[in-house]
Chains A and B, each alone.
Chain A
Amino acid sequence: MTANAASPNHLQLTRDGQLRHFLTLDGLGRELLTDILDTADSFIEVGERSIKKVPLLRGLTVVNLFFEASTRTRSTFELAAKRLSADVLNLDINTSATSKGESLSDTLLNLEAMASDMFVVRHAQSGAPHFIAESVTPGVAIINAGDGRHAHPTQAMLDMLTIRQHKGGFEGLKVAIVGDILHSRVARSQIRALNELGAEQVRVIAPGTLLPNDVESLGCTVEYDMAKGMKDVDVVIMLRLQKERMEGALLPSEREFYRLYGLSQEKLALAHPECIVMHPGPINRGVEIESAVADGPQSVILNQVTNGIAIRMAVMSMAMGGQVAERQQKLNEITERGQA
């Protein structure tokens, strides 16, 4: 017997299969992911105009609800919302506010009273955006800006956009993701996207302590030895390593980690000659990646930042579009029933 709960897609897709929330890449098909990338391409063109703004979300209010500090991600979401002509409210709700006793449900009730149309949510707990999407008034779109170890779907999609720009597509691609997979919401979303978009091989390269149990079930192969893992890869994605990992007995030292899993020019030389180097940032130079590689010709780390705004504009306008279309559909149905 399975639990009688809605699957993530009942939550994030309309009946017609359009986005109405953007919570996870789980269950989103290749066509929809490709639509997101294509729409983002159009927004990249908008970003090259003298006026980099379109009127799609004019009159709507977007609330950046960040329960976990992240200036970078919040800024790109803010800029994306503004370029869509939305009004933007930034709320950094540090965890101390929640420890004062107000529950997340109560916080949400207060925010809804401000007539918000979209919440962009960053939260330290896996599943928090899901919970919010289940709790909010219909018509309000929820965008996941990173939840716990679960998902960071906009980051993964901007990475896919970067890969597509450099490699033309995903067929036949060999991609290595290196570092702390266990704690990485980015890696989970990337592995999912790469599988759905048709990459030939996704390899995760990490020591056993930084890999979740059953990691292969996500759609990847495991390599402990970076030299083997780097062989012939077209794309290498380096993950950020948090300093706390030393304290939890997951790693002996940053030095040892860098020696084994840091991306140096020597290790990069083992990859395909046209291999691109990616990193979701912020970078720990000398821990995950050598400066010469981060700033080198194969690095596309800066492209990733530009693409971040376009992807977020795409996802926000698509989810809001799904919500308004659904609302209109319901109104039409009520009118028709009234006439019948």
Chain B
Amino acid sequence: MSALLDVEQLMDKLETGLKDLLKERGIESPLVIGIRTGGVWVADIIGKRLGVEEPFGQLDISFYRDDFSRIGLNPKVTPSSLPFDTEGRDIILVDDVIMSGRTIRAAMNELFDYGRPASIILATLIDLGARELPIRPDVAGQALTLDAAQRVKLRGPDPLWIEIQSADQ
């Protein structure tokens, strides 16, 4: 089974949610950083929608994963790229899907190795629940509950679409 969620709709919700939050916190010039690979695509779009002028950053969390001791190193790691100074800045950290929260833990550890940001807002397109760490998105496009056998994946970058796969297929 492969169901389609409307990416546009989720982006709209994310955009609205973020705008509200930025306004509420009085943040005027945030930086946008996406987590590879899906998060980078979302960061690209959201950054433009929010009118962020600086280029978005890209994080590859391979060096920070907590499962190195079980699966080793990702053989296709690419360099992280933060083309700006993060010290004292407000950051919107973007990923496509949040579930256990482990990716976000790794991403935040990595972020702090670049400097001390003023704040981090977490934005994800989809929130699957099933958290294993005390981490939650500040803004999410949609909350979703899947069966144990189902997986969700953002495909892209052009066009972007969401695929829900059943493992038994």
Using a CB-CB cutoff of 8 Å, which residues 54-80 of chain B contact chain A?
Answer: 60, 62-64, 68-73, 75-80
A321→B80 contact, CB < 8 A? no
Contact status of A42 and B80, CB under 8 A, knowing A50-B114, A50-B115: yes
Using a CB-CB cutoff of 8 Å, which residues 35-52 of chain A contact chain B?
Answer: 35, 38-39, 41-42, 44-46, 49-51
B68→A321 contact, CB < 8 A? yes
Looking at the assembled complex, report how far the CB atom of A326 sits from the nearest CB atom of chain B, in whole angstroms.
Answer: 8
Looking at the assembled complex, report how far the CB atom of B83 sits from the nearest CB atom of chain A, in whole angstroms.
Answer: 11
Contact status of A324 and B69, CB under 8 A, knowing A50-B114, A53-B113: yes
How many angstroms between the C-alpha atoms of A324 and B66 in the bound complex?
Answer: 13
Using a CB-CB cutoff of 8 Å, which residues 75-110 of chain B contact chain A?
Answer: 75-81, 87, 109-110
Return the contact of A322 from the options B60, B72, B81, B112 (Cβ within 8 A).
Answer: B72
Chain A interface residue number, banded: 20 to 34
How many angstroms between the C-alpha atoms of A55 and B63 in the bound complex?
Answer: 7
Which residues on the A side are within 8 Å of B63 (C-beta)? 42, 46, 54-56, 317
Interface size on B, residues (CB 8 A): 24
Residue on B nearest A318 in the bound complex, by CB: B73
B72→A18 contact, CB < 8 A? yes
Which residues on the A side are within 8 Å of B70 (C-beta)? 324-325, 328
Looking at the assembled complex, report how far the CB atom of A57 sits from the nearest CB atom of chain B, in whole angstroms.
Answer: 8
A56→B73 contact, CB < 8 A? yes
Using a CB-CB cutoff of 8 Å, which residues 1-60 of chain A contact chain B?
Answer: 18, 35, 38-39, 41-42, 44-46, 49-51, 53-56
A45→B113 contact, CB < 8 A? no
B68→A56 contact, CB < 8 A? yes
B78→A325 contact, CB < 8 A? no
0 or 1 for each of A64-82: is its CB under 8 Å from B? (1 = yes): 0000000000000000000
> By CB atoms of chain A within 10 A, which of B62, B70, B77, B112 has the most?
B77
How many angstroms between the C-alpha atoms of A35 and B110 in the bound complex?
Answer: 22
How many angstroms between the C-alpha atoms of A66 and B157 in the bound complex?
Answer: 49
How many angstroms between the C-alpha atoms of A62 and B62 in the bound complex?
Answer: 21
Looking at the assembled complex, report how far the CB atom of A301 sits from the nearest CB atom of chain B, in whole angstroms.
Answer: 24
Which residues on the B side are within 8 Å of A38 (C-beta)? 76-78
A324→B113 contact, CB < 8 A? no
Looking at the assembled complex, report how far the CB atom of B136 sits from the nearest CB atom of chain A, in whole angstroms.
Answer: 23
Which residues on the A side are within 8 Å of B77 (C-beta)? 38-39, 42
Contact status of A45 and B79, CB under 8 A, knowing A50-B115, A54-B64: yes
A324→B60 contact, CB < 8 A? no
Contact status of A324 and B68, CB under 8 A, knowing A51-B113, A53-B113: yes
Contact status of A50 and B73, CB under 8 A, knowing A42-B78, A45-B79: no
Using a CB-CB cutoff of 8 Å, which residues 282-340 of chain A contact chain B?
Answer: 317-318, 320-325, 328
Return the contact of A321 from the options B73, B78, B112, B115 (Cβ within 8 A).
Answer: B73
Residue on A nearest B71 in the bound complex, by CB: A325
Looking at the assembled complex, report how far the CB atom of B91 sits from the nearest CB atom of chain A, in whole angstroms.
Answer: 15
How many angstroms between the C-alpha atoms of A39 and B114 in the bound complex?
Answer: 19
How many angstroms between the C-alpha atoms of A317 and B69 in the bound complex?
Answer: 11
How many angstroms between the C-alpha atoms of A320 and B71 in the bound complex?
Answer: 10
Which residues on the A side are within 8 Å of B75 (C-beta)? 18, 35, 39, 318
Looking at the assembled complex, report how far the CB atom of A317 sits from the nearest CB atom of chain B, in whole angstroms.
Answer: 5
Residue on A nearest B87 in the bound complex, by CB: A50
A45→B81 contact, CB < 8 A? yes
Which residues on the A side are within 8 Å of B112 (C-beta)? 51
Looking at the assembled complex, report how far the CB atom of A48 sits from the nearest CB atom of chain B, in whole angstroms.
Answer: 9
How many angstroms between the C-alpha atoms of A133 and B73 in the bound complex?
Answer: 21
Using a CB-CB cutoff of 8 Å, which residues 102-143 of chain B contact chain A?
Answer: 109-110, 112-115
Residues of A in contact with B (beta carbons under 8 Å apart): 18, 35, 38-39, 41-42, 44-46, 49-51, 53-56, 317-318, 320-325, 328
CB-CB nearest 7 A-B residue pairs: A321-B72, A321-B73, A325-B72, A45-B79, A54-B63, A51-B113, A42-B79
Residues of B in contact with A (beta carbons under 8 Å apart): 60, 62-64, 68-73, 75-81, 87, 109-110, 112-115
- A sample of 18 inter-chain contacts (CB < 8 A) reads A39-B75, A42-B62, A42-B78, A45-B79, A50-B113, A50-B114, A50-B115, A54-B110, A54-B113, A55-B64, A55-B109, A317-B73, A321-B68, A321-B72, A323-B72, A324-B68, A324-B71, A328-B71
